[in-house]
Chains A and B, each alone.
Chain A
Amino acid sequence: GAGVSQSPSNKVTEKGKDVELRCDPISGHTALYWYRQSLGQGLEFLIYFQGNSAPDKSGLPSDRFSAERTGGSVSTLTIQRTQQEDSAVYLCASSSPGGNTIYFGEGSWLTVV
């Protein structure tokens, strides 16, 4: 596609439920990133993929958070047993091999009630 595509764009879930957020990067982009934006914490790095490998998971806030990437393309961020503090916008980004610009998607707005 033309840009980084994320779904769902909005998700309201009950506390304790699991959620999956999907990211489809720009075609040909081997690097993929997940960030989180919240009022309290600002923009935070979560995880970085190069191909299907995740050499840097240092930003995942707890073991309730996990992510995978398949086929060097689509990535899924999973949050288990959601808590209210997980409410945020989850932004996916990608960049091309040797490219310097990191392109962000529109984000998935998650609200945990």
Chain B
Amino acid sequence: ELKVEQNPLFLSMQEGKNYTIYCNYSTTSDRLYWYRQDPGKSLESLFVLLSNGAVKQEGRLMASLDTKARLSTLHITAAVHDLSATYFCAPPGGGSNYKLTFGKGTLLTVNP
């Protein structure tokens, strides 16, 4: 059974600072999804990482995937308040490309 561990689960940052969220998973997967969720809202797709070594950037967020280490990172550069949300990583499991197994999520709060 695929297990996904995110850390930290809670992250309080000051605006302008950098930080990294880590996502470790237990069994082989060649792709990984990152989602953002605002309170009371649905999941917004941030990144789909499709191969080992994949790196994608959008604004202040950059995600990477190391399939050999079973590790993905989400790096936040010069955080701003608008990035406050819960971030989930989700590799597919069960031999599928679709059956996402979500981590518990990282609740990010960016303070002025």
Contacts and interface: CB of A to CB of B under 8 A. Distances in A.
Q: How many A residues are at the interface, by size bracket?
A: 20 to 34
Interface secondary structure of A, over-half rule: strand
A45 B44 CA distance: 17
Nearest to B98: A48
B48 A101 contact: yes
Interface in A30-57: 31, 33, 35, 42-45, 48, 56
Given A91-B43, A101-B48, A106-B42, A45 B104 contact: no
Contact of A91 (B42, B50, B96): B42
Nearest to B97: A100
Interface residues of B, number: 21
Nearest to B102: A43
Interface in A57-100: 58-59, 91, 93, 95, 100
Nearest to A45: B99
A23 B90 CA distance: 22
Interface in B78-101: 88, 90, 94, 96, 98-101
Contacts of A102: 33, 45, 98, 100
B91 to A, nearest CB: 12
Given A35-B100, A100-B48, 15 more contacts: A33-B98, A42-B104, A43-B90, A43-B102, A45-B101, A48-B96, A56-B99, A58-B94, A59-B99, A91-B43, A100-B50, A101-B45, A102-B45, A104-B35, A104-B44
Ranked nearest first, the 3 interchain pairs of A and B with the lowest CB-CB distance are A43-B102, A104-B43, A106-B42
